[in-house]
Amino acid sequence: MPYVDRQNRICGFLDIEENEGSGKFLRRYFILDTQQGSLVWFMDNPQNLPVGTDCVGSLKLTYISKVSDATKLRPKAEFCFVINAGMRKFFLQANDQQDLVEWVNALNKATKITVPKLIDGQQNSENLKGLPDVAVPKKQVSYKTEIIGGVPIVTQTQHDSGDCADRAEREAIHRSHSQLPYFLSKPAQDHSVIKAGYCVKQGAVMRNWKRRYFLLEENSMSYFKSDSEKEPLRIIPLKEVHKVQECKQSDIMMRDNLFEVVTTSRTFYIQADSPEDMHSWIKAVSAAIVAQRGPGRSAATMRQARRLSNPCIQRYTSRIGECSSTLLQLCTCLRCVTSCLSLLLPPVRCLD
């Protein structure tokens, strides 16, 4: 889902068809900056890239005429929408339907231009005078003219049958397994998997940030180098996790959507792609911990149960019980002796 970062920019991951008509969608990190008036995309979140890394592509908001759903244009691409920018169409793929709607609304809102009302039609006629003459092709094709940011844009509204056939053929091309979004590229998981997906994790030694594939199961949370790896880099048993929560040091680390998994030996700092994803991970891990320990059994009660189950502690507590019973018996015997003496001995009278 798109989210607003610390610089008041709308950010998030999308898949884009960088080469028009190729049918190949690549995952990129998008930043919609209304202050700079541009939409830029990177290979990954710039926070995870070296300082000064250039963007993969960019588009000025003044060039965008319309952003709309492209499900009918690209029926093979799920959750697809299109950005019309002059004579070029950028096809993008969202993560789900809600993600698509939010991106389309955000882009249309950012590119909306308020044009002052005209007193008469003179200004429009003056702008239209500067338009170049459009040569009529052999086949009948219709065009439309729009003035965007003071710049006249001529776009084709109707395509001939040959172009439609080519487009249909291009849409029939299937994407390879390696180019699928991360949530589709992983094969079907076992039923014990609770949640899976990519996050960015801080290293223990170098303190650098690397993108890893996380897998939450019933008894453990593990992470891999990628979703195609079979052996995890590390397995974190849930019985060692004390708590999982939103990181309180996110301002110091300058990281958005940061949460922490606190274990007995180490605190893992993990960055999600969006606030929704972060809260989803926190809830999923917390629920898995509760399910493993049973309802009403917190980490403190589990530690106490493990402590009391220690044989040494059991022997110690049993000895305390034995000592307590011995003292009680001794006190009872002393009471009996006192009562017997009071019966045998006559009362002592005080002499004046």
**Taking residues 93-118, what's their average pLDDT?**
78
**Using CA atoms, how far apart are residues 278 and 259, in angstroms rounded to an integer?**
7
Residue type (1 letter), 17: E
- pLDDT bin (cut points 50, 70, 90) of residue 47 is confident
Q: What single-letter amino acid sits at 48?
A: N
Confidence of residue 116 (pLDDT cuts 50, 70, 90): very low
For the domain covering 193-292, report its CATH number. Answer: 2.30.29.30
The answer to whether the CB of 11 falls within 8 A of the CB of 2 is: yes
The pLDDT tens digits for 140-183 are: 656 666 666 555 566 666 544 445 545 544 444 434 333 444 34
Return the top range by mean pLDDT from 3-17, 252-266, 282-296.
Answer: 3-17
Exposure on the CB side of residue 61, measured as CA atoms within 13 A: 17
Where are the alpha helices (H) located in 66-134, listed in sequence order?
97-111, 122-129
Q: Any idea which of 61-70, 108-117, 236-245, 260-269 has the lowest mean pLDDT?
A: 108-117
pLDDT tens digits, one per residue of 338-350: 665 665 556 555 4
Count of other CB atoms within 10 angstroms of residue 154: 13
- What residues pair up with 294 in beta bridges, in sequence order? none
340 or 112, which is more confident: 112
The average pLDDT across 48-55 equals 88
Spacing of C-alpha 180 from chain mean position: 18
Whole-prediction pTM: 0.45
In the chain, which segments carry CATH 2.30.29.30?
A: 3-114, 193-292
pLDDT greater than 90 at residue 214? yes
What pLDDT, in 10s, does the model give residues 62-85?
Answer: 888 889 999 888 888 889 999 988
User: How many Å apart are CA 101 and CA 81, to the nearest integer?
Assistant: 9
User: Quick one: how far is CA 292 from the chain centroid?
Assistant: 24
Rounded to an integer, what distance in angstroms lies between the CA atom of residue 13 and that of residue 29?
Answer: 4
Say how far apart CA 352 and CA 349 lie, in whole Å. Answer: 9
Q: What is the DSSP string of 225-276?
A: SSTT-SS-SEEEEGGGEEEEEE-TTHHHHT-SSEEEEEESS-EEEEE-SSHH
Q: How many CB atoms lie within 10 A of CB 173?
A: 12
CATH architecture of 3-114: Roll (2.30)
| pLDDT tens per residue across span 230-242 | 999 999 999 999 9
Residue 64: strand, helix, or coil? strand
**Tokens in use for 323?**
């000592």
In DSSP terms, 12 is beta-bridged to: 30
Contact 94, 118 (CB under 8 A): no
